[in-house]
Chain A
Amino acid sequence: MTNKMSAMISRLWAVLKQPTAKYSLGTLLIGGFVAGIIFWGGFNTAMEMTNTEEFCISCHEMRANVYEEYKETVHYNNRTGIRATCPDCHVPKEWNYKVVRKIQASNELWHKALGSINTREKFEAKRLKLAQNVWRAMKNNDSRECRNCHDYDSMDFVDQGRRAVKQHSEGLDTGSTCIDCHKGIAHELPDMRTVDSTATIGDN
């Protein structure tokens, strides 16, 4: 069996190594070029299709939990009518980071198949862990996806409120990042007992 396989591979290799006698160099070049465009375009189109809100909420896990909560927030509904959809915050814009994130998403498909969060109760039980994963990622990349729209350099501190001016100018100096303070702005917070017990109820 192994011998047969290696014989087949060496024969295929021999064919690939041979210069073609049948097709002209022009046909090969143009054919390869067109095939390349179709393949690359198809790949990117397929990836962009997974980069829409419609795709995200085609799973009930997203639609019934985080999407419903997001609809109550300023990133969905606001004065100027600008909306940040799921991928705007959760998928990097740059291609290389985006592909890495898409590969990581295969883990999410796996857990979709396992049904890890297919009920509200299961989701609530995992919410802290899931939230902390996102917080950690945003802390590590200096809240890159926030900064696609919110840029420190474009912020007019004069126009900001008393509290925002203080926090933002201090934040600039101490190297803090958006997610350090702006947690739970687009979805409900998890149980914060283990994160900050002084901001929850009960003796801890």
Chain B
Amino acid sequence: MMIKKISLIVVMSALTGLSMPLLSETTEVSSLRGPIDLEQDSTAPTMKKYNKDEEPIARDYVQQPPLVPHKIEGYRVNLKSNKCLSCHSWKNYRQYGATKISQTHFEDRDDHVLANVSARRYFCTQCHVPQVNAKPLVENNFKPITAISGE
């Protein structure tokens, strides 16, 4: 038994030793700056543009914070005002035809319900983000569950 194991290790390491130089020739590690010499300047990738106004984007999983289907450039969220809530608050959403913020946004971490948006839910872009038309960096086979996709 022992001898079998040792011989297996020997064979394996021999194989690895053989394949190592082969691997390094065929697949080189490419860094984010691309195959450019260290001494050369890399060209910056072009800036992605945010999508124009679109219809609300369907969620991919139940707990997903809904994505922002419009540009939010120049929208400030600070202690003095919150541009998002000037349309998405419960008072304003009807006038502007916006989606109102969820009821969960009024609860603090101890599940106490507050009169106004909870401080931990006030900074919208921590969870809700606008979209650009970017290809996924890695292949992804994720599919929403039937409850969302209906398939």
A74: which B residues are within 8 A, CB to CB? 74
A73: which B residues are within 8 A, CB to CB? 74
Q: Are A204 and B115 in contact (CB under 8 A)?
A: yes
Q: A200 and B92 in contact (CB under 8 A), knowing A163-B53, A164-B53?
A: no
Q: A199 and B81 in contact (CB under 8 A), knowing A164-B53, A204-B116?
A: yes
Cα–Cα, bound, A204→B91 (Å): 14
Q: Are B92 and A198 in contact (CB under 8 A)?
A: yes
Q: A198 and B85 in contact (CB under 8 A), knowing A192-B80, A204-B116?
A: yes
Q: Are B74 and A198 in contact (CB under 8 A)?
A: no
Range of interface residues on A (Cβ < 8 Å): 20 to 34
Contact with A196, one of B54, B86, B117 (Cβ below 8 angstroms): B86
Q: A201 and B52 in contact (CB under 8 A), knowing A167-B96, A185-B74, A191-B80?
A: no
Query: Residue-by-residue, is B65-78 near A (CB-CB < 8 Å gives 1, otherwise 0)?
Result: 00000110010100
Check: A189 CB closer than 8 A to any chain B CB: yes
For chain B, what secondary structure do more than half of its interface residues adopt (helix, strand, loop), or is it mixed?
A: loop
B76: which A residues are within 8 A, CB to CB? 184, 188-189
Contact with B80, one of A72, A161, A200 (Cβ below 8 angstroms): A200
Cα–Cα, bound, A189→B81 (Å): 7
B55: which A residues are within 8 A, CB to CB? 162
Check: A50 CB closer than 8 A to any chain B CB: no
Q: Are B53 and A200 in contact (CB under 8 A)?
A: no
Q: Are A202 and B53 in contact (CB under 8 A)?
A: no
| A145-204 contacts to B (CB < 8 Å) | 161-164, 166-167, 184-185, 188-193, 196-204
Q: Are A161 and B70 in contact (CB under 8 A)?
A: yes
Instruction: A162-B55, A201-B79, A204-B116 are known; give 10 further A-B pairs, CB within 8 A.
Output: A161-B53, A162-B53, A185-B74, A189-B76, A189-B83, A196-B86, A196-B89, A198-B91, A199-B82, A199-B85
A-B contact pairs, 18 of them (CB 8 A): A161-B53, A162-B54, A163-B53, A164-B53, A189-B80, A190-B80, A191-B79, A192-B80, A193-B80, A197-B116, A198-B117, A199-B83, A199-B92, A200-B79, A201-B82, A201-B116, A203-B115, A204-B116
